[in-house]
Structure 1
Amino acid sequence: MKNPLSGKTIGNISRRHLLGTALAIGVVRPGWAAEPEKPKTLVVNSSGGVVNRALRKAFFTEFERRYGIRVIDTSPADTAKLRAMVASGNVEWDVTEIAGQDGVLVERLGLLEPLDHSIIDLSRFPENLKKNKFLFPRSVYSTVLGYRKEAFKQGHPVGWAEFWDVKKFPGRRSLRNHPVDNLEFALLADGVPADKLYPLDLDRAFRKLDEIRPHINVWWSAGAQPAQLLVDGEVDLASGWSGRFYDLVMKDAPIGIEWAGGAVKESDFAIPKGAKHPYWSQKFLAVMAEAERQAIYTNELGYPGLNLDLVKFVEPKVVPLLITNPVNLAKQFFNDLTWWADNQAVALDRWNKWMLKG
């Protein structure tokens, strides 16, 4: 996947803030004969949990205040359900979250309405994202290594090779029950450089996974699990989404985040094809594009938005824990989402068979 930051980092982005962008209330593109009547509600689907809490604080409340339309939130983000809705013509969502390689898939399948760039201002986004046709680039997220501080007073594992080193770093471990990221982590642990990961060597990755499998105590499936497993002392090391760890770190939980080998992905929002209120869906995404609103989301959850003016509004205490902090970003890699879109079915089938081997 091409780095969505397009060479930009917190340390070198512009500080200019365009206060007037994305506030174009009443602006109607040529394709809209007139501003459509306001619906009473707008349904926004997301991954739920702490993500939904942050979305409401940063975007839902402001959209409701600005337009008088109540936002109804649903979860989880579900590509299969999106496909079924579009196929049936009964589309329940006005906007939905689409993460990682699923964005490539749903765009290919024609499941989305195009973005209206006369409403959604992407002018202060990285160059390679400004002309996105269907996917609104909400943020980036990363799968990283979390650890329990009490278990590693003399130093925690740095990177996946040390996660695999059970003699040097004994302790209970947890990984996600899914091939995405785990295949990359296995190859990194086996010495493959981050810039040489793709195309993934499945045989080599599964051989390396065979080594760590006896030492995995919990295969997690829900995003909230790994951080809670660490806090509860059920495991000492766990892969997990950085925002879930961030949420507890900011509450002074005794856990830490190791960025080395983190797997970074773009997280998008989009309008399902056949959505009932497409104009107001565009207006909602326009609110999501604003730097000040994105900063509220980032402060709440640690997933940085991609408006380049974001840093101007982020709380200083948050910056060391941002995926896009130059120090952190340099240690991570970007998943190749196109490779995953092309190969996910094969990789998932092999993963499921591998898990069944017991």
Structure 2
Amino acid sequence: MSKENSGNHSVSAPTRRLVVQSAATLLSLPFVANTTRAWAQEKLAGSGEVVVFSYGGSFTEGVRRSVYEPFTKTTGIKVVDVVADLAEPQVKAMHQAGRVDWDIAYIEAEAYPAMHKAGMFGAIDYSLWDQEALEGTPPHTWLKDAVVGLASAIVLAYDQRLFPGAGPQDWADFWDVTKFPGPRGLDTIFGKHAIQFALLAAGLRHKAIWPLTDNKLDRAFAKLNEIKPYIAKWWNAGGEAPQLLINREYAIASAYDGRLIAAVRQGAPIKFGWEGAYVTYTYMTVLKRGPNTSNAQKLIAFLNRAQIAAAWTQGTGYPGPNTNQLKYLPAELIPQVNVNPQNASKCIIDDANWLVETRPDGKTNADHIQERWLSWRTQ
């Protein structure tokens, strides 16, 4: 029941650790599900350990409480986490050296196609997943040798104190400085984010965004020229946008959903919406020739159970794709997460396979877009 990569997957920034590492800091203690002992004994019970890559900081702390400790208690398998900024360089080095010391790694979508082609990952054993996980997880998130582990989104957020009634709802509103006055904020990490928002503001429909052909880029940069004078600051770290909204330095801004959820749950006067949000996937993979691949399969199956997926979401601030977790999330959190189908239907997932394709000049599409973005930013 596994699926091959369908090609419509997202590309993440190289600052993934900064994005997810502290988003969970402000979240309340995560909900920890009561697992079904009989099911675990039948499918997932074991011994020994499993070595898992992690981003460190509060992300790792949240995962330990919400997933790893319940997993060990239920199955008898110890989880050993190893921390690095990004997994990909070390996974590639281990693969080339012929000695793989990890069992599970989180892989960014842009890196996945080449690593998949090189045979670095083992096939996911979906037979270990329970029915609730299989039914709640969209098939396009099942790859033969990877599964979506978490999703983050850049959404439109605004200072509710400035717009106590009907605030901006979409990117056309972001560009409407007359109806919604005040300083704006956009990220400068990857130009493809702002380019997508500009195209939506220019009237393109969701399904028309990809691929980002040169004529679409021309249209996007023309639209970006309109809003550039109103950008008070180009943010480049995940926590900046919510803080600048709180400080009244932004009226409206793009921001990561996990950071916003944490801020709102602490009482920040911020509202955010999902129309035209930019969703990024991160894959979980079982490394081929890892020391404990059987235990790795069990941990991934455990994590994708609906109750544990809900615990993961509360522990990290970033949900996996299992929609059945909504049955176990606090009611006030459900409208705020990107796994909610009502929110997901408004989002756009970028095309990682297209972005890594090589152009006639030898550059990838991603490199070409980023070069145009950096040139525009310095004008």
Q: TM-score, normalised by structure 1?
A: 0.80
Secondary structure, aligned partner of 2:122: coil
Q: What is the aligned partner in structure 2 of residue 138 from structure 1? A: 149
Give the distance between the partners of 1:238 and 1:130, measured in 2 at CA: 29
Secondary structure, aligned partner of 1:230: helix
Secondary structure, aligned partner of 2:355: helix
Q: What is the aligned partner in structure 1 of residue 204 from structure 2? A: 192
Contact 2:44-2:128 within 8 A present in 1 as well: no
Secondary structure, aligned partner of 2:287: coil
Q: What is the aligned partner in structure 2 of residue 276 from structure 1? A: 291
RMSD (CA atoms): 3.1
For structure 2, which runs of at least 5 residues remain unmatched after alignment?
A: 1-5, 10-34, 358-364
Contact 2:184-2:250 within 8 A present in 1 as well: yes
Q: CA deviation at 1:145?
A: 0.9
How many residues are paired up?
A: 334
Shift of the 22–175 alpha-carbon distance from structure 1 to 2, 3 Å rule, reads farther
Structure 1 segment 102-121 matched on structure 2, within 5 A: 102-121=111-130
Shift of the 84–261 alpha-carbon distance from structure 1 to 2, 3 Å rule, reads same
Match of 1:230 among 199, 221, 245: 245
Secondary structure, aligned partner of 1:143: strand
Does residue 151 of the first structure (1) align with residue 151 of the second (2)? no
Q: What is the aligned partner in structure 2 of residue 344 from structure 1? A: 366
1:45-86 Cα deviation digits (max 9, x unpaired): 24x555434322321222233325143252433534443443
Shift of the 99–130 alpha-carbon distance from structure 1 to 2, 3 Å rule, reads closer
Q: CA deviation at 1:292?
A: 0.8
Q: What is the aligned partner in structure 2 of residue 8 from structure 1? A: none
Q: What is the aligned partner in structure 2 of residue 264 from structure 1? A: 279
Contact 1:105-1:341 within 8 A present in 2 as well: no
Give the distance between the partners of 2:141 and 2:346, measured in 1 at CA: 26
Q: What is the aligned partner in structure 1 of residue 192 from structure 2? A: 180
Structure 1 segment 197-208 matched on structure 2, within 5 A: 197-200=209-212, 201-208=216-223
Q: CA deviation at 1:131?
A: 5.2
Identity of aligned residues (%): 30
Does residue 45 of the first structure (1) align with residue 54 of the second (2)? yes
Contact 1:21-1:290 within 8 A present in 2 as well: no
Structure 1 segment 273-312 matched on structure 2, within 5 A: 273-301=288-316, 303-312=318-327
Match of 1:96 among 60, 81, 105: 105
Q: CA deviation at 1:90?
A: 5.3
Secondary structure, aligned partner of 2:62: helix
Aligned amino acid, residue 56 of structure 1: R
